[in-house]
Structure 1
């Protein structure tokens, strides 16, 4: 049952100068992190980070300790990135599309334009390398 419980947290409302390394350092103070990923749109707005822990109880402890705490002057929002299967919402008409090996020149707007003919889109984001600012 523990294996089905969420181990990943989603951290939002981050300052634009927060780095993946900083988030991992801060959250590892609670419990060791398995990995993390900073995601930022092409304009550098609305960054967020996901942090995965080794155990559900570690993620729960970090959620309790870090939610609504200040990081670089902003109150961050920490939520579970995944939900136990017994609590999942109906998503049969909701799909996620991940595309890789895109040219570094591709921007979020290009993806939205390319996918627009296929129907309504709730969101599109490019994963950026924080060091170079180019798409991953």
Structure 2
């Protein structure tokens, strides 16, 4: 292990898991290894953990230090810096917990409710709902960890499709091993989540997927996108090489753009960006993060409102 590719992450909330840490640090570049070290201290103050994140490229590690130091994760501001010589990060030391993914979570589901639902399956270690770092709103999915694989298997078999709160949830392994899975992101391929989130107004939940081969099917898109939220609609024009995938929330759509950028679909690297949705009634223009001034934004919205209702969320790209 080279310390030039490895960063130290301190002041970690004890609820932070390997998977959660990957959510925060993978947008900076390809992560090759993650380790969290649990700390248990006696005294009046709550214990915090620390960990290490190893990247393929040192540039990604430097970027993570610049952008994520003092970022608030759950209840604590994390400390991110270069790992010191002698600090070890080996795959053999990584926790052996079995992580499962919980999708289509209703907005009212909390960590406690998720714990209650999955705590009946033996060796559950923790349960966590992923939330937007700015708004605190649920991102529509979460993770549950088990010490024993048999308990994770039972949870998947028993809970997939079951009603939790106001929605039927999807339950599967957090890390798929099949060849059809999305490959890990490459350095420089992703923009930070917060950057993508602010590129369009909050009412936009549609993702444009380009560079598709003619043999693309709806299932080729459903499989990777369903990990990030409830899919409301897929509009595929394989003969023209693109599709639009509409998710349930702006946050889930942004997360899919970050993590699915460059995914392999039948031999081609997909190009992802924001689609176009119709502004809700009464929406006030003046949103400047898209690169439009107020007049341009208002004109664009008026043009969108003149489109037929059946195509009100889609804008074809040539």
**TM-score of the superposition, structure 1-length normalised?**
0.60
RMSD over aligned CA atoms reads 3.5
Shift of 1:14: 1.0
Q: 1:113 to 1:26 in 2, by over 3 A?
A: closer
Shift of 1:37: 2.0
Q: Answer yes or no: is 1:123 the counterpart of 2:252.
A: no
Instruction: Determine the structure 1 residue equivalent to 2:98.
Output: 7
Shift of 1:94: 4.1
Shift of 1:70: 0.1
Please give the alpha-carbon distance, in whole angstroms, between the structure 2 residues aligned to 1:93 and 1:39: 20
Please give the alpha-carbon distance, in whole angstroms, between the structure 1 residues aligned to 2:182 and 2:108: 36
Equivalent residues of 1:9, 1:50 under 8 A apart: yes
Instruction: Determine the structure 2 residue equivalent to 1:59.
Output: 152
What 5-or-longer segments of structure 1 have no aligned partner? 100-107, 125-136
Q: 1:112 to 1:63 in 2, by over 3 A?
A: same
Shift of 1:19: 0.6
Q: Answer yes or no: is 1:71 the counterpart of 2:164.
A: yes
Please give the alpha-carbon distance, in whole angstroms, between the structure 2 residues aligned to 1:69 and 1:113: 32
Greater relative contact order (Cα 8 A, min sep 6): structure 1 or 2? 1
Instruction: Please show how residues 26-105 of structure 1 align to structure 2 within 5 Å.
Output: 26-41=117-132, 42=135, 44=137, 46-84=139-177, 87=178, 89=181, 91=183, 93-94=185-186
Shift of 1:113: 5.3
Larger Rg: 2
Whose strand fraction is larger, Structure 1's or Structure 2's? 2
What 5-or-longer segments of structure 2 have no aligned partner? 1-95, 200-253, 260-318
Shift of 1:44: 2.2
